[in-house]
Amino acid sequence: MPKKLANILRSLFQKSCQVWITGTETELRPHFWCILQDNMNKTTIATIGLGSLLMLGAGCATAQPMAPSPAPAAEVPAANGSSTATVPPTPAPSAPLTKPQAAPMPTPPPVQKPLPPKNQTVIVTIKNFAFSPQVIAVNDGDTVMWVNADPVSHTSTFDGALLWDSGNLVPGASYKRVFHVGTYQYHCGPHPNMKGTIIVR
């Protein structure tokens, strides 16, 4: 009985679905009653009818469209060509961390040594029976020049041993000499009270 009942329900379900789809309600009754009268009594008909209605509502419902599935991940052939491998996204390279460097210190300009002073000529004027200036200070290698501005003759003579002697300097005449480190005192030969000093550094 169960196998026969299953076959009857299957046949009834197929024919009922065809009638449901065409929308012709009157065609359901001939198929339904013919199958039931040939095979079952009234008690079985009531049971089959109830089961058929339940299956009709569940099986012939309109199918809902399914949401599209997401596209699969891109695949590329593997190196050996036998299978495929999924390529992961390549991360963006990060910038290397660089240690801040201190600003270079400015280079100081080179210190220039002062040029040695050029040798100078210092003038001593003989006027009014005197050496002017009477005491002078000069650098090593400087030159001292005596100029006679008096109307009479004068000399420039070292006080000690005969280191220098200008001889008679007539009015307007001059005499010069280079001096090195030391202190030198001198006088005028014709006029011994005329004295002078030279200091060489």
Candidates 3.30.60.50, 2.40.10.220, 3.40.50.300, 2.60.40.420; correct CATH number of 121-200?
2.60.40.420
- Give me the pLDDT at residue 88, please: 61
- Token duo for residue 144: 């001292």
- Give me the pLDDT at residue 118, please: 78
User: 65-103: buried (b, 16+ CB within 10 Å) or exposed (e) per residue?
Assistant: eeeeeeeeeeeeeeeeeeeeeeeeeeeeeeeeeeeeeee
What's the alpha-carbon Rg for the chain, to the nearest Å? 70
Phi and psi (nearest 5°) for 5? -65, -35
pLDDT digits (tens, 9 = 90+) for 51-103: 655 665 555 444 444 555 555 545 545 445 444 556 566 766 666 667 777 77
Percent of the residues in the chain that have a pLDDT greater than 90, as a whole number? 39
Domain residue extents for the chain:
2-57, 121-200
Task: Check: CB of residue 116 under 8 Å from CB of residue 142.
Answer: no
pLDDT digits (tens, 9 = 90+) for 107-136: 877 777 666 667 899 999 999 999 999 999
